[in-house]
Amino acid sequence: MMRVFLKAALTLAVAALVLAPAARAQELRIAMKAAVDSFDPALLFTPNRNVQQHVFEPLVFQDAHLKPLPGLAESWRVINPTTWEFKLRRNVTFHDGTPFTARDVAFSIKRAQGKTGIRTYRHYLKDIVGIDIVDDHTVHIRTASPSALLISNLSTLGMVSAGLVEGANDDGFNSGALAVGTGPYRRVRFVPNQEIVLERNEKYWGSVEPWVKVTIRFIGNDSARVAALLSNEADVIDAVPGNLYARVRDSASANLVSDTSIFLLYAQFDRFRDSSPYVRDADGKPLSANPLKDKRVLEAMSRAVNRQALAERVMDGSAEPAGQLAPAGFVGHDPTLKPLGHEPAKAKQMLAEAGWPRGFELTLHCLNDRFSGDIQTCQAIASMFSAIGVRSKVEGLPSATFFRRANSGGPNGEPEFSATMAIFGASSGEPIQSLVTLVETVNAEKGHGGNNRGRYSNAEVDRLTELSQQTLDDAEREKLVFAATRIVMAENGVFPIYFLKASWGVNRKLTLAPRGDQYTLATRIRPAP
C-alpha cells in the first residue's frame, strides 16, 4: 500500500514539474516606464493608447513601420474625392457578446469628435463631416475635402460599443463597466498609474493569443525596471536607456531588442520677434535685433551640432542622427536628405558673415523628464553652440511646465522661449502630420502649427502641406511631402537632431517584434522557438 502511495505521489510531483513551465509560459509580465492614467479610448495619451489597444481595436491596424493594414475594417475604397467606403469585418463581437456593427463605428467617431481638451483625437478626426450607415457591415465616411490622411488617422481610435457606452458615465471606462472592446484581451483589473491585468479573449475573431494572462506594471525608474527583468520579476521591459544597454545585453537571462522609432528630437528658434527675450549680446546686454531670424545664423548653429557624437556617446547608441522629419523605412523619408555634418570652423565663419563675429548669448529651454538623456543632450548641444560663439546656458523643465510656457507662456499668449528642444512623433505614422504640427504657419482655428514654437512660416510649405493632405495618390502625395520637407530643411524651419531608438529588454525565452511608435504589445511578443 505504501509503495502504491509513494508511486502515486511521485507521479503527481513529476506531472507538476512538467505542467508548471507550461502554465507559466501562458502568463506574460510587462514592466513599462510610462504609467497609464485612463482607460477611455477617446482620450489621446500615448501610454494609454499602447495598453488600450489590447482591448479596444481601431478600424485600421498598423505594421512595424506604421503603414495601414486591415483591422476591424477589412477593406476600404474611395467612392468619390470626399467619400470613403469601409467594409467591416464580419463575425466580430465585443467581449460581452454584442455584435460589432457600423453603428458602433459611427458612435465611436462622433464620441471622440465631441471630446474637448488637449488630450483628444479631435485633430485626427477634424476632416470628417458625416458618417452614413449603409448596412451593418458597411459605412460611408464623408470628409469636408479630399482627405489623404483619413486612413492613417483612423488607426489611432479604438472602437467602443454604442449600446453599452451611449448615455453612460465615462468613469465606467476606469471602473471596468465600459471597458469592453473587440480586442484579443479583456480588461480584468486597472489601478491607474500602477497596474493593469488582462486576460485572453477566448472568442477573439483573430488568431488565439498564447498568453492567458498579461500583467502590466509601471516602473518609472530605469534601473529598477532593468533589475525587475534580470531578477525574473518581469518578462519584458520597455524604454531601456542607452547607458543600461550593456547590462541587459550582457546578461545570461535577457536580450536587448532595439530599433529606430518615429520620435524625433528637434530644436526650434524664435523667428517672429525683433527682440527675443532669452537672447543677449556678447556682453550680456539686451539686443534690439534678433539674430535667430537670420537663416545663416541658424545654419551655423546647426553645423555646430555633432549629431553622431550625441547619438553614440551622449545617448550611448540609443539614438540615430537625423537630417529630416521621418526616419529611414518610414513613409516620408527622403533618401537624398542627410544629417548636416559637424563643421564648427565653417559655423564660426557663417556667424561672422551674418554680422555676429563675437557671437551672442542664448538660453536653451529643454525637457528634463521626457526620455532618458534629454537634459544631457541639451547640455551637450549648449556646449557645441558655445564653441562657435553662441554662448548658451540650459534651463531644464518638467513636461507640464515646459509645454505650457513654450507654447503660450508669453505676455500675450505667444511662445515664451527663444530656443527650445523637444520630441515629436505622429502616432498615425504620417509625415504630413509632422509638417502640419511643427512647421505649418500657425492657425489655431485650423489646427495648424500646434508645436511651431519658433513661428516659422513659408507660404510654399503651407501650400504643399495642404495639397498633400488632399492628394489621394500615394506616390504623388509623397512627392509633395518631399518638396515641402526640402524647403524646411534648407531654411532650418526646424532642425532635426536625432531619432530615438525604441529599446526593450526581453527574457531569452521570448521574442519581441518592435514597432516604430515604441508600443509594447503582448500581440507582438511570443515564446521563442
pLDDT value at 364 more than 90? yes
Report pLDDT digits (tens) over 433-481.
999 999 999 998 888 999 999 999 999 999 999 999 999 999 999 999 9
Structure pTM?
0.88
In angstroms, the CA 400 to CA 407 distance is 11
Instruction: Please give the radius of gyration of the chain, using alpha carbons only, rounded to the nearest integer.
Output: 25
Q: Is residue 412 part of a domain?
A: yes
Do the Cβ atoms of 74 and 87 come closer than 8 Å? yes
Residue 147 included in any domain: yes
Digit-coded pLDDT (tens) for 316-336 = 999 999 999 999 999 999 999
Same domain, residue pair 214 and 273: no
Q: Is the pLDDT at 126 greater than 80, yes or no?
A: yes
State the cell numbers at 501: 531608438
- Read off the pLDDT of each residue in 106-134 and give the average, rounded to a whole number: 91
Mean pLDDT of 352-370: 95
DSSP codes of every residue in 322-353 = -SSSS-TTSTT--TT--PPP--HHHHHHHHHH
**Residue 379, C-beta contacts closer than 8 angstroms, at least 6 positions apart:** 394
Residue 36 has what DSSP assignment? P
Whether 8 has a pLDDT exceeding 70, the answer reads no
Residues 382 and 325 in one domain: yes
Whether 55 and 182 share a structural domain: yes
First to last CA, the chain: 44
Q: Range of 455's domain?
A: 261-501
Residue 364 sits in the same domain as residue 493: yes
Q: What is the pLDDT of residue 7?
A: 40
Average pLDDT value for residue range 392-410: 94
pLDDT tens string 148-180: 999 999 998 999 999 999 999 999 999 999 999
Outline where 245-329 has alpha helix (H): 245-249, 295-303, 307-309
**Cβ-based burial of 1 (10 A; exposed 0-12, middle 13-18, buried ≥19):** exposed
Q: Is 195 helix (H, G, I), strand (E, B) or coil?
A: strand
Q: b/e for 306-322, b at 16 or more Cβ within 10 A?
A: bbeebbbebbbebbbbb
Same domain assignment for residues 275 and 177: no
pLDDT of residue 119: 77
DSSP-derived secondary structure letter, 12: H
* Main-chain phi, psi angles of 393, to 5 degrees: -120, 160
In 465-494, which positions are buried (b, 16+ CB within 10 angstroms) versus exposed (e)?
bbbbbbbeeeeebbebbbbbbbebbebbbb
pLDDT at 22 over 50: no
Instruction: Convert the pLDDT of each residue in 337-358 to its tens digit.
Output: 999 999 999 999 999 999 999 9
- Domain shared by 304 and 435, yes or no: yes
Residue 411 resides in a domain: yes
- Cα torsion for 268, 273, 278, 284, to the nearest 10°? 130
**Same structural domain for residues 269 and 209?**
no
**Are 408 and 441 spatial neighbours (Cβ–Cβ below 8 Å)?**
no
Please list, in sequence order, all residues whose beta carbon lies within 8 angstroms of the beta carbon of residue 178, skipping any fewer than 6 positions away: 160, 164, 165, 168, 170, 172
Characterize 373-409 residue by residue with b for buried, 16 or more Cβ atoms within 10 angstroms of its Cβ, and e for exposed: bbbbbbbbbbebbbebbbbbebebbeeeebbebbbeb
Answer yes or no: is 294 within a domain.
yes
Q: Which three cell numbers stand for residue 46?
A: 500615448
Reading the block at residue 140, the C-alpha cell is: 460611408
Whether 285 and 383 map to the same domain: the answer is yes
Task: Say if CB 527 and CB 516 are below 8 A apart.
Answer: no
Distance CA 8, CA 1 (A): 11
**Could you report the per-residue pLDDT of 50-95, keeping only the tens digit for each?**
999 999 999 999 999 999 999 999 999 999 999 999 999 999 999 9
3-state SS, residue 90:
coil
Residue written as grid cell 542622427: 321
Task: Give a yes or no: residue 368 inside a domain.
Answer: yes
- The pLDDT tens digits for 242-282 are 999 999 999 999 999 999 999 999 999 999 999 999 999 99
75-93 residues labelled b (16+ CB within 10 A) or e (exposed): ebeeeeebebbbbbbeebe
Pairing type for strands 525-527 and 510-512 reads antiparallel
| pLDDT for residue 9 | 40
Q: What is the CATH number of the domain that holds 160?
A: 3.40.190.10
Do 328 and 398 fall into the same domain? Answer: yes
Show Cβ contacts of residue 163 under 8 Å, excluding neighbours closer than 6 positions: 98
Per-residue pLDDT of 274-303, as tens digits, reads 999 999 999 999 998 999 999 999 999 999
285 falls within a domain:
yes
What is the Cα–Cα distance from 399 to 112, expressed in whole angstroms? 25
Closest listed residue to residue 356, CA positions, set 403, 411, 294: 294
If asked whether residues 266 and 211 sit together in one domain, one would say no
Q: How confident is the model at residue 25 (pLDDT cuts 50, 70, 90)?
A: low
Residues 289 and 186 in one domain: no
pLDDT in tens, 184-196: 999 999 999 999 9
Domain CATH for 314: 3.10.105.10
Is 2 inside any structural domain?
no
Statement to judge: residues 448 and 306 lie in one domain: yes
With a pLDDT cut of 90, the percent of the chain lying above it is: 87
The residues facing 195 across adjacent strands are 191, 217
Outline where DSSP puts E strands in 378-514. Answer: 390-397, 419-424, 495-507, 510-512
Q: How many domains does the chain have?
A: 2
Asked whether the CA dihedral 89, 91, 95, 98 is positive or negative, the reply is positive
- Mean pLDDT, the chain, as a whole number? 92
Is 60 a domain residue?
A: yes
pLDDT band at 370 (very low <50, low <70, confident <90, very high): confident
Q: Which three cell numbers stand for residue 450?
A: 500646434
Do 205 and 93 contact (CB within 8 A), yes or no?
yes
